[in-house]
Amino acid sequence: MAKDKGPRRPRAETPKGFRDYFGAEVSERKAMLDTIAEVYHRYGFDPLETSAVETVEALGKFLPDVDRPNEGVFAWQEEDQDWLALRYDLTAPLARVAAQYRNDLASPYRRFAMGPVWRNEKPGPGRFRQFYQCDADTVGSASVAADAEICAMLADALEAVGIPRGDYVVKVNNRKV
Q: Which residue has the higher pLDDT, 38 or 61?
A: 38
Asked if 149 and 138 touch (Cβ cutoff 8 Å), the reply is: yes
* C-beta of residue 109 within 8 angstroms of C-beta of residue 98: yes
Is 114 within 8 Å of 36 (Cβ atoms)? yes
Q: pTM for the complete prediction?
A: 0.84
User: How does residue 176 score in pLDDT terms, banded at 50, 70 and 90?
Assistant: confident
pLDDT in tens, 64-119: 555 555 578 888 888 888 888 999 899 999 999 999 999 999 999 999 999 999 99
User: What pLDDT digit, counting tens, does each position of 29-38 carry?
Assistant: 999 999 999 9
Structural domains of the chain in order of their starting residue, each with its CATH number? 23-142 (3.30.930.10)
Can you say whether residue 44 is alpha, beta or left, with left for phi > 0 and alpha for psi between -120 and 50 degrees? left
- Using alpha carbons only, what angle is made at residue 64 by residues 53 and 66, rounded to the nearest 5 degrees? 80
Distances 154 to 56, 126, 140 between C-alpha atoms, Å? 30, 22, 20
Contacts 24+ apart (CB under 8 A), 125-133: 127/17, 128/17, 128/18, 128/19, 129/15, 129/16, 129/17, 129/18, 130/17, 130/18, 132/29, 132/33, 133/89, 133/90
